Amino acid sequence: MSCDAVDRMLYDTHKRVLMNPMEAIANLANEKTEEMACNDDLMDQFQGNTHGIYEMAVDAPDKFVATLTAYMNGDYEYESIAAVRSWVTLAYMNQWRNDLNAHNGRSKEFYRMWLQSELKSLQAVEAQAAAVREAQAAAVREAEPSGPPPAS
């Protein structure tokens, strides 16, 4: 699919279905921010606001884990923990958009490394698919009779 085809989907044929992926990520992060802000019990653990969650997660990760674990009565694997961690990850990964040097440039580098990792994953899957197609084509070529057809 070409860039033009993607643009056509985003801005024409699927404009009420698809969004720019970063806009979609921002919307989900904002929705989670609002949801967490309404959870008084959670907010009590983090200075009463989502900024407190973010600050503790980035500046004191061990305290963040301990606070969430205590909040979840020792169950750090609970799905609510994953939602909070997802929110912190998205917030951290996108801080460079507001400040290019956020967290001494680590936000930007985290984002860059994630994009590179995703691209490598995509390339590996594409290479694997190409190898499978080539193997299938070779099998077809081997199954075809070679040489001239038998004389009748």
Which tens digits make up the pLDDT trace of 40-56? 988 988 888 899 999 99
Backbone φ and ψ of 29, nearest 5°: -65, -45
pLDDT of residue 147: 66
Domain locations along the chain: 3-93, 105-142
Half-sphere exposure of 97 (CA within 13 A, CB side): 10
> pTM for the complete prediction?
0.77
